[in-house]
Amino acid sequence: MQDLRETYLARISGAADQAALEEVRLAALGKKGEISLKMRELGQMSPEERQTVGKALNELRNELDTALRAKKAALEDAALDERLKAEWLDVTLPARHRARGTIHPVSQVTEEVTAIFADMGFRVAEGPQIETDWYNFDALNIAPEHPARQEHDTFFMHRAEGDDRPPHVLRTHTSPVQIRAMQDQGAPIRVIAPGRVYRMDMDLTHTPMFHQVEGMAIGEDISMANLKWVLEEFFTAFFGTKVRTRFRASHFPFTEPSAEVDIQCSWEGGQLRVGEGDGWLEVLGSGMMHPKVLQAGGIDPDKWQGFAFGMGIDRMAMLKYGIPDLRAFFESDLRWLRHYGFGALEAPSVHAG
């Protein structure tokens, strides 16, 4: 009995892990364990023997059982210690720096413009950047021989040899979206269409790709007065200060009458300030939609009339945020992007008119 005790106590304390300990438990106290078998032998003993041996066996079983439990707990503690050591983490270490991108001024201004016009009931419409020449020109009352086609410095897409349909073009303005929006939605309608446009032009103030936003409102009695109010409301909200506008008679094939619109500004001390002084800065083209344009969009010009305008987004960004060079917009210089970019969580700043 004493041998059994020492053997098993030694094996218990020597068990390296839970599996080894379980083996010891089965060898001693399992159904076919040594102690259990000894217990079974009690039946063949005399009553006196049974009393002493039985008592001793019981005590031994209890002792081994206690030792097994204690060892089990010790092994569990050790395992936990190991884990705590392995998973230790210094939360006081400074966080690793993460490079954060910025919102491009063109995206920011597009959001701002969209938000302001949305407040006036304009929805965003879209069209493709590769257009048919019908949408880009004919539907807008620009005939094939019209000088405006040359003025627009159009990029033409390549056609396969033998294909003599008129080539597609990179849209030279957002005005073709007027036609698409009318065809899609009919009248009455109020939309803006921001997006990329392309012209073969490259100098200090021109890039071959730039951004415009088209505006269009059609109703039964929409007039130039509505156009002027909407634009003044827009500029005032956009620049955060009351901005007066000046309409100058102009010409576009797709509007009649047509007007170029200037906004009020001052140049004092070589610094441009919008909404002050008595200088003027041209910012957009506009007018009442030509009956032929309404017709091309499937809208009856005897019943409906509307205004349209087209404005440069990049130009607006330069004016609002004091960005001097247009070409830098599209050079992807990280230093420029970090300097003029906006944080991802900066909401478009829209001021009440």
Note whether 341 binds ligand PHE by CB under 6 A: no
Candidates 10-18, 58-66, 240-248, 285-293; binding stretch for ligand PHE (CB under 6 A): 285-293
Does 132 engage in binding with ligand PHE (CB under 6 A)?
no
Q: How far is the CB of 124 from ligand PHE (least distance, A)?
A: 16
Three-state DSSP at 193 gives strand
Residue 323 amino acid letter: I
Applying CB under 6 A, among 132, 141, 154, 175 the residue interacting with ligand PHE is: 175
Give yes or no for residue 173 binding ligand PHE (CB under 6 A). Answer: yes
Q: Which stretch binds ligand PHE (CB under 6 A): 24-32, 40-48, 116-124, 307-315?
A: 307-315
Question: CA–CA separation, 216 vs 307, rounded Å?
Answer: 6
CA atoms of 217 and 171, how far apart (whole Å): 21
Contact flag: residue 195 with ligand PHE (CB under 6 A): no
CB closer to ligand PHE out of 114 and 154: 154
> What's the rounded Cα separation, in Å, for the pair 35 and 60?
8
**What character string, x for contact with ligand PHE (CB under 6 A) and - otherwise, covers 238-267?**
--------------x--x------------
Element (H, E) at 68: helix 47-86
Q: Pick from 122, 137, 309, 329 the residue near ligand PHE by CB under 6 A.
A: 309
CA distance 239 to 318: 12
Region binding ligand PHE by CB under 6 A among candidate stretches 9-17, 53-61, 160-168, 303-311: 303-311
117 binds ligand PHE (CB under 6 A): no
Integer Cα distance of 308 and 286 in angstroms: 6
Three-state SS annotation for 195-208: EEEECCCCECCECC
Q: Should residue 213 be labelled a site residue for ligand PHE when binding is judged by CB under 6 A?
A: no
Which CB sits closer to ligand PHE, 38 or 292?
292
The stretch near ligand PHE (CB under 6 A) out of 23-31, 160-168, 284-292, 329-337 is 284-292
Query: Cα dihedral sign for 120, 125, 200, 288?
Result: negative
Considering the complex, state which of residue 242 and residue 248 has its C-beta at the smaller distance from ligand PHE: 248
Indicate the residue among 175 and 305 with the shorter CB distance to ligand PHE.
Answer: 175
Query: Of 103, 182, 308, 319, which one interacts with ligand PHE (CB under 6 A)?
Result: 308
Count the residues in the chain: 353
Binding segment for ligand PHE (CB under 6 A), chosen from 73-81, 186-194, 308-316, 319-327, is 308-316
Residue 172 or 264 with smaller CB distance to ligand PHE:
172
Tell me how far apart the alpha carbons of residues 222 and 208 are, in angstroms, rounded to a whole number: 34
Closest residue to ligand PHE using C-beta atoms: 310
Residue 210 touches ligand PHE, criterion: CB under 6 A: no
Q: Measuring CA to CA, how many Å separate 287 from each of 11, 123, 162, 214, 266?
A: 99, 20, 40, 12, 26
The encoded tokens of residue 24 equal 């010891």
Q: Please choose, out of 102-110, 158-166, 261-269, 280-288, the segment that lies near ligand PHE by the rule CB under 6 A.
A: 280-288
Residues 216, 287: Cα–Cα separation, whole Å: 10
State which residue, 110 or 175, has the beta carbon closest to ligand PHE.
175
Q: Using N-to-C axis directions, what is the helix angle for 47-86 and 2-14, rounded to 10°?
A: 10
Tell me whether residue 103 or residue 283 sits nearer to ligand PHE (CB atom).
283
Q: Is 225 exposed, middle or buried (0-12, 13-18, 19+ CB in 10 A)?
A: exposed
- Pick from 348, 346, 350, 349: nearest CA to 101: 346
The span from the CA of 298 to the CA of 323, in Å, is: 41
- Size of interface with ligand PHE, in residues (CB under 6 A): 10
Q: How many CB atoms lie within 10 A of CB 223?
A: 13
Site for ligand PHE, rule CB under 6 A: 173, 175, 252, 255, 285-287, 308-310
